[in-house]
Amino acid sequence: MWKLFINCSLLSFFMGLLFAALISRFGSYVGLADMPNKRSSHIVPTSRSGGIGIWVAMILTGLFFTQYHIFAMLASIIGFVSLLDDFFSIQHKIRLVLHLVTSAIVISLFLGIPTSIVAMLLYSFWIILITGTTNFYNFMDGIDGIAGLTGFVGFGFMAVFSSFIVERLDIALISTALSASCLGFLPFNIPKARVFMGDVGSVLLGFTFASLLVNLSTSINEFLCIIMFLCMFYADALVTIFCRWKRGENLIMAHRSHLYQYMCNELRLPHWKVSFAYALAQFAFAFLALLAYKEGIICQIVVFVFFGTIFLLIYRSIMKIKPRSLLS
């Protein structure tokens, strides 16, 4: 088994590294240059879609290392359409419909067709969760290193959980592949990005994380534990959406109101410092969640509430800092 994991890890790391290097060098020649705009956190044109290697690693692992062939094909479709979006900017309504339909198919694949009102309500919740996470991950991919580091940590913990705690080999291999491919991508994305992950990487990571979360969540304890593996992205995205809704903003319009964006753009903190801070916080609370899982649901709820409280306090404190006070 260990040989299988090692081979999968090495192959996925190489895919992440190889395609990041290729897109970094040739992306601008094939129409993959990300031009800065008012929402951007970068100021010079930079090649995007460096996450193609993550997509390729997912396909190879799903088809040749696991029995999750249908899921790998569905995820590859999500990745392919996202790659087209990197090239041609597909309308958000079309992308949303694709995410909703594919999420519904994945849930039916993993859990079957709902046959009761309760099952239908749960089915609807899972569709919203997968679609939401798919887009949250994409929204959070806005500064150097944050998406790659988060993927490395989040899927790394999912690999540990599915390997040693619930013994789900196929999910462990997919998680290992995505974690390793994110690690391979990172040398070209941090501390100064030579290439961006693009939708092909970020959308795929969000979709896959939420799909595997659905598959693994046979109890509330498991659900709360696994969701903590991506806690910083969920917290930042949800709090930002709530604040924008409270201000009466159009929620589907592009913006740069996330906490990480405020820290980099307004407070002028280096991208890599913010990205590592998010990754370290995610690692710490994911580790606490793993420890709490063995103690039962009460401990898991305590960790969940504790994290939420800490995040809200820090969020409010940072948002109160004015750029001029930082420079004075």
If we measure between CA atoms, which residue out of 139, 309, 150 comes closest to residue 240? 139
C-alpha–C-alpha distance, residues 242 and 307, integer Å: 18
What is the reported pLDDT for 208? 98
Q: How is residue 46 annotated by DSSP?
A: E
What is the reported pLDDT for 327? 44
Residue boundaries of the structural domains of the chain: 2-327
Rounded to an integer, what is the distance from CA 149 to the centroid of its chain? Answer: 10
C-alpha–C-alpha distance, residues 278 and 321, integer Å: 18
Query: CB count, 10 Å around CB of 289?
Result: 24
Query: CB count, 10 Å around CB of 118?
Result: 9
What is the reported pLDDT for 142? 87
- Asked whether the beta carbons of 175 and 158 are under 8 A apart, the reply is yes
Low-confidence ranges of the chain (pLDDT < 50): 325-328
**Count of alpha carbons within 13 angstroms of residue 284, beta-carbon side:** 11
- Asked whether the beta carbons of 216 and 222 are under 8 A apart, the reply is yes
What is the reported pLDDT for 115? 87
pLDDT in tens, 62-81: 999 999 999 999 999 999 99
